[in-house]
Chain A
């Protein structure tokens, strides 16, 4: 039973993390290849506070704020660049984050921070907290999607210029998306730190950013249920099936490639196409000349 609890906790944290990226990339169409940096910002904040005897629950908002502040800065920078440039800039942010953390002994340097204290709620209690937070954010995502803000996000994702012409303050909404998405990633980071009891620069590198992006894409960009399903599945599959664990990277990347090739709108898109006759459009920038 103990192992199952560990798996459920890992799943819940991954779902929360993936949903936070879905908010930025899925809802608002801003591609981010460095999202793990915000997970890391939250994780390190929470870890260091916890080791300084701050109670676990208080580290969560601190982690969220720290990640969101970083997210705001990145968000502001992202306003100047688009699409491909944005992708590369966010990738660069990810590398910079890891590169700086690595060098500063204050953050534990290369070695990271080990011996992070337990959350104090016991294994089951901690699992319930993670699941609760994941569910809360999922509900929040669903709510936003149906709201005016969600509508604006979708509009920006589809065609930014037209949205601007309509008189909407695109920059403000992009920034909001970034702040909410990165702040939530920070929360996921705090949970991560107390689940794995260790944080290091390698935990939040490019591969992590791609992994979480894979979860969002395989699930179906923008689809809350799809992302939940994909994140839950992909996060624990390697631990359940040993063969997949050995070839984890090959499996993930192969799956991702197959998805892109045959169903870029992910599992959600597949389901939509299977169960309805209305073709679903891939959200993205229309009017691109090739």
Chain B
């Protein structure tokens, strides 16, 4: 299936105020792949993501989603193919009730009401929040808002999911639920995040961005064991890959035996 491919070639974008956010990025993501985009604040992650569904149009270079290059004419198809999950769910949930919000996309696609209802209920069930269907979004908890915003995107049945900081502002339990949920999806996934432990769970491949350029692109395990690369990119090893302070303190000898990079 060629149409779930995301291909970015030599992409550059400079904001009107002169800040060059993206400077010549190229990568190719295949069908069903799950890729993390990591980097410091202001490294250009968000700007890159905004190109993937045509919120920004490339100033130089090109973006191809599946068989289509991203142009004005293909925008509609591309926005249906690429589901974008925003960092702040409040930006994404603008309708008066959860049901209407999830139905917003499918209705705009022009689907008949029965089909819309079916899709809404199915996507609410998929993320486990059927019981919230008549609630107003502003009364939901952070985790519930996140789940509903994912359902709203799923209802458009996209092939590719693009997420900006999906675990931001979630409590540990909600974060765990989110990771399990995302792990169950078979979509092509592109996740921009600072949560490197989440990357370890979800993404076999990682792209590291610094100052608008790709520093590294490869298997997550390799990248997270490259201390110099992480240091240069303002990142820290995932907590799970760091030495346990308890073991390395009181049980230092044991820790030495087991090697410093063990998991708990």
Real binding pair: no
